[in-house]
Amino acid sequence: MEALDPLDYKILEILQVNNMASQREIGNTIGLSAPAVQRRIVRMREMGVIKKDIAVLDPEHLGQLITIVVQVEMETDKVELVTKTKRKFEQTPQVQQCYYVTGEADFILIMVVHNMKEYETLTHELFFNNPGIQRFKSSICMDIVKSGLSLPVPKSDK
What residues make contact with DNA under the rule CB under 7 A? 2, 7, 22-25, 27, 31-36, 38-40, 42
Residues 79-108, one symbol each (x = binds its own copies by CB under 8 A, - = not), give -------x--xx--xxxxxxxxxxxxx-xx
154 binds its own copies (CB under 8 A): yes
Three-state SS at 17? helix
Q: Which of 5, 47, 78, 134 binds its own copies (CB under 8 A)?
A: 47
CB 38 within 8 A of CB 24: no
Q: What are phi and psi of 68, to 5 degrees?
A: -130, 130
Residue closer to DNA (CB basis): 25 or 125: 25
The set of residues, in sequence order, having a beta carbon less than 8 Å from that of 2 and lying 6+ positions away, is none
Burial of 11 (0-12, 13-18, 19+ CB in 10 A): buried
15 binds its own copies (CB under 8 A): yes
Q: Which residues contact its own copies (rule: CB under 8 A)?
A: 4, 12, 15-20, 47-63, 65, 67, 69, 86, 89-90, 93-105, 107-108, 110, 112-114, 137-154
